[in-house]
Amino acid sequence: MSLKAKRNKSAMWAAILVLFLGSFAVCIAQEEGPDDAKEIAVPDYVMKEVVRRTLAWYYKPSRVSKVVYLADIRIRKEWLPVITNIRFELVSLEDLRKEGRRVHFFTAAEVDRTGYQVAFAFGDPECEYSGELWSFRVSRKKVRLWPSRGGVGAGCGQSSSAKHETLKANDAT
């Protein structure tokens, strides 16, 4: 074997070793427990269905006009359902900070054991809030959505990692 071939072989094995060790380090850094959820990016058409159907679940046609304020995070105006006498109004985070208003909002989607999960909550998205969990999965471009047992909540005194911790509901069944 020539000197050049030996150098190429050594360089190849060094590169493989670096890739292996780098992958191992990334795996260790991303290791999560069984109950830890992973935030993910969900396609717009899926989130549109989740937002539209969740809001339709909570807000039925009314005889009197109502305004529902929603934080403009993770949702778009065109995703909002049309419901008789219910007007959905998006509020920016900047306006929320100025006015101190409490609003409804959706948390980031996360992977769970049945598919994905998102919370529909009320309060200050950056501080104190509570809400209910919704699970969903996608099969053949069809979104299957259902209310989960449990909820989410946060308080201003909690650390940012504890802020989004899922609270388990009592299993009375």
Q: Where are the domains of the chain?
A: 38-167
Contact criterion met (CB below 8 Å) for 106 and 51: yes
Q: State pTM to two decimals.
A: 0.67
Section 45-68 average pLDDT: 97
- Name the H helices within 82-159: 93-99
Q: How far apart are CA 80 and CA 88, in angstroms?
A: 7
The DSSP code sequence of 42-104 is: --HHHHHHHHHHHHHHH----SS-EEEEEE-SS--GGGSPPBTTEEEEEE-HHHHHHH---EE
Q: How do residues 4-55 score in pLDDT, each as one tens digit?
A: 666 556 655 554 544 444 443 333 333 333 344 566 889 999 999 999 999 9
State pLDDT tens for residues 83-137.
Answer: 999 999 999 999 988 888 899 999 999 998 889 999 999 999 988 999 999 999 9
Residue 57 has pLDDT above 90, yes or no: yes
